[in-house]
Chains A and B, each alone.
Chain A
Amino acid sequence: MLDEIMIGQYIERDSVVHKSDPRTKILVVMFFITTVFLINTFSGYFILAGFIYLATMMAKINLKRIIKSIKPLTFIILFTLVIHLFMTRGGDVLWQWRFLRIEEEGLRLGLFMALRLIFLITFTSLLTLTTSPLELTDGLERLLNPFKRIGVPAHELAMMMTIALRFIPTLLEEAQKIMNAQKARGADFESGNLIKKAKSLIPLLVPLFINAFRRADDLALAMESRCYRGGENRTRMNVLMLATRDYLIMATSLIYLGLVAILL
């Protein structure tokens, strides 16, 4: 579990998708999400599935890995499907048993919603599979930069994400240590019902939080000592540059998705 949280789910490959600018990828994902919600025919979804397939191939990522990303959300997908099946009314009655009834519109909408969720998950996970968390943070900061004028704290958000990424493993490790120390003194984290389990976490969370605040204090001092004074006048070692490749990717995706949205 620890490993997955640490590095996100980034898989290093030498591909066009990996090399392209994180901003390009974020924008394409945004186009894609918009299209997913605009389309409402099955042929449209079929073509979208083709788009995901192409992108996956270009990223040199195993298709199975993409499909695996749906797994944690299977319950939500099934839940949406079932709710729509039985609750949405309209069209002919397809099936009935006592008070349970499935109508045509319910089946259609249920399937649409399930497909939309699946597409959203697979495509966004393609983003995190091909972009390292650091690049992602950088990309977001640059994308949000124009909105600084209306008060979006672009730099601060990015810095918070960077620090969170840095400290998640450290805090997890610490939580494990505290837990072991408590266990050694006879604490019981496993037995009992949900409420009892939650209560047994208090002696874990209190020291964890106190330490986290202490760490934050230390880190603030260290950052100030290294001349950190917010985003003003700060430069970056790795400057993001949009290459011809990025414009091409953006243009073709926009055309592909735009055509699908308009025609289908």
Chain B
Amino acid sequence: MPLIEIADLCYRYNQDQDWILKGVDLKVDSGEFVVIVGHNGSGKSTLAKMLNGLLVPDEGEVLVNGKATSREENIWEIRRQIGMVFQNPDNQLVANIVEEDIAFGPENLGLESAVIKKRVEEALEVVGMDKFRRNAPHNLSGGQKQRIAIAGILAMHPKCLVLDEPTAMLDPVGRKDVMTTVQELNQELGMAVVHITHFMTEALLADRIIVMDQGKIVLEGTPQEIFSQVDEIKKYHLDVPQLTELAFRLSQAGLDVSPDIFNVDELVEKLCYLKSKI
């Protein structure tokens, strides 16, 4: 059974408004790293809020571990399993001391004091912020705050982490730190990750990329599959990583370069090889 199963999901904020999501079908397996990309207004953030029942579908259904988010009695278990990190790091921290903030989730679950302490400890270590446990969040950088937000979710022991543009408000250093943390969580702890972003370079890390446009899933596949369709991606107002675009253009110009090259060294090697043949 997939961890998250979405079938024919339709949603609009108001009866007299247009549909935001128009028939989305999606499955996320446990341990998978899925990246959802899409232009502003493509419905990707709305989709994220569907995953833990912050929003409930108008039509279709969202199942988490086989349980529907639309049923009131499932909602708290679903929110524990699907942890959610939001865009603005300032607006999701509750307490004015880091460890108290991380304890907030487990406290809501009604765990015992000793268990909470252990979980806070572990979560701090995983995100590499154990030195800052007694700090006040406003003294931390954006990237650090975002890692604290992730730790706060981890302490609830979720099965899946949903990140709704967590790097949009960060500087390059913070962005890199957060992405490294997320990658580690996925690879080392085997946690499923649904990462929503408009930075295409972050999509390269995924097992599977989902491209959304106007409330629908328009493309789906591995990074290789997606990025080799440069023209298609540009149609949805998305950028392609520079390297991929270069490779694509070269291959269009008739050179023997495949467009699914993702790192600099590989491309350099390929180009040197081509040059030596001339």
Partner of B113, one of A6, A215, A237: A237
How many whole Å from B21's CB to the nearest CB in chain A?
Answer: 18
Docked-complex contact B108 and A237, CB < 8 angstroms: no
CA separation between A248 and B98, bound complex, in Å?
Answer: 33
A96 within 8 A of B: no
Docked-complex contact B113 and A228, CB < 8 angstroms: no
CA separation between A134 and B109, bound complex, in Å?
Answer: 21
Interface majority SS (helix, strand, loop, mixed), chain B: helix
Which A residues are in CB contact (< 8 Å) with B93?
Answer: 166
Docked-complex contact A162 and B103, CB < 8 angstroms: no
Which A residues are in CB contact (< 8 Å) with B99?
Answer: 237
How many whole Å from B51's CB to the nearest CB in chain A?
Answer: 10
Which A residues are in CB contact (< 8 Å) with B138?
Answer: 6, 169-170, 173
B88 within 8 A of A: yes
Which A residues are in CB contact (< 8 Å) with B146?
Answer: none
Docked-complex contact B96 and A238, CB < 8 angstroms: no
Which A residues are in CB contact (< 8 Å) with B92?
Answer: 218-219, 222
B112 within 8 A of A: yes
Which range holds the interface residue count of chain B? 35 or more
Partner of A229, one of B49, B52, B76, B91: B76
B86 within 8 A of A: yes
Docked-complex contact A227 and B96, CB < 8 angstroms: no
Docked-complex contact A134 and B100, CB < 8 angstroms: yes
Which A residues are in CB contact (< 8 Å) with B88?
Answer: 215, 218
Kindly identify, within residues 98 to 153 of chain B, every residue whose CB is under 8 Å from any CB belonging to chain A.
99-100, 103-113, 116-117, 120, 136-138, 149, 152-153
Which B residues are in CB contact (< 8 Å) with A218?
Answer: 86, 88, 91-92
Partner of B110, one of A222, A233, A238: A233
**Whose C-beta in chain A lies nearest to the C-beta of B77?**
A227
Docked-complex contact A235 and B107, CB < 8 angstroms: yes
**Whose C-beta in chain B lies nearest to the C-beta of A165?**
B96
Partner of B95, one of A166, A229, A234: A166
Which B residues are in CB contact (< 8 Å) with A6?
Answer: 136, 138
Which B residues are in CB contact (< 8 Å) with A226?
Answer: 79, 83, 94, 104-105, 108, 152-153, 156
CA separation between A134 and B94, bound complex, in Å?
Answer: 12
Which B residues are in CB contact (< 8 Å) with A236?
Answer: 103, 107, 113, 116
Q: A166-B93, A169-B136, A237-B106 are in contact. Are A224 and B113 (CB under 8 A)?
A: no
A223 within 8 A of B: yes
Kindly identify, within residues 61 to 80 of chain B, every residue whose CB is under 8 Å from any CB belonging to chain A.
76, 79-80
Docked-complex contact A224 and B94, CB < 8 angstroms: no
Docked-complex contact A166 and B91, CB < 8 angstroms: no
Kindly identify, within residues 161 to 204 of chain B, every residue whose CB is under 8 Å from any CB belonging to chain A.
none
**Whose C-beta in chain B lies nearest to the C-beta of A2?**
B138
Q: Interface digits, B27-39 against A, CB 8 Å rule (1 contact, 0 not)?
A: 0000000000000
Which A residues are in CB contact (< 8 Å) with B100?
Answer: 134, 237-238
Partner of B97, one of A134, A229, A235: A134
A7 within 8 A of B: yes
**Whose C-beta in chain B lies nearest to the C-beta of A6?**
B136
CA separation between A235 and B91, bound complex, in Å?
Answer: 23
B212 within 8 A of A: no
A225 within 8 A of B: yes
Docked-complex contact B113 and A234, CB < 8 angstroms: no
How many whole Å from A179's CB to the nearest CB in chain B?
Answer: 18
Docked-complex contact A133 and B108, CB < 8 angstroms: no
CA separation between A214 and B91, bound complex, in Å?
Answer: 9
**Whose C-beta in chain B lies nearest to the C-beta of A228?**
B108
B84 within 8 A of A: yes
How many whole Å from B145's CB to the nearest CB in chain A?
Answer: 10
How many whole Å from A142's CB to the nearest CB in chain B?
Answer: 14
Partner of A222, one of B91, B113, B116: B91
Q: A218-B88, A218-B91, A219-B91 are in contact. Are A234 and B52 (CB under 8 A)?
A: no
A63 within 8 A of B: no
B90 within 8 A of A: yes
**Which residues of B pack against A, CB within 8 Å?**
49, 52, 54, 76, 79-80, 83-84, 86, 88, 90-97, 99-100, 103-113, 116-117, 120, 136-138, 149, 152-153, 156
Task: Across the A-B interface, give the 3 residue pairs with the lowest CB-CB distance, nearest first.
Answer: A222-B92, A218-B91, A237-B103
19 residue pairs A–B, Cβ–Cβ below 8 Å: A6-B138, A134-B97, A166-B95, A170-B90, A214-B91, A215-B88, A215-B91, A219-B92, A221-B49, A221-B54, A222-B84, A222-B91, A223-B94, A223-B104, A224-B79, A225-B79, A225-B84, A229-B76, A237-B120
In the complex, besides A170-B138, A226-B94, 10 extra interface pairs with C-beta distance below 8 angstroms are A134-B96, A163-B94, A218-B86, A219-B91, A222-B94, A223-B94, A225-B79, A227-B79, A227-B156, A238-B113
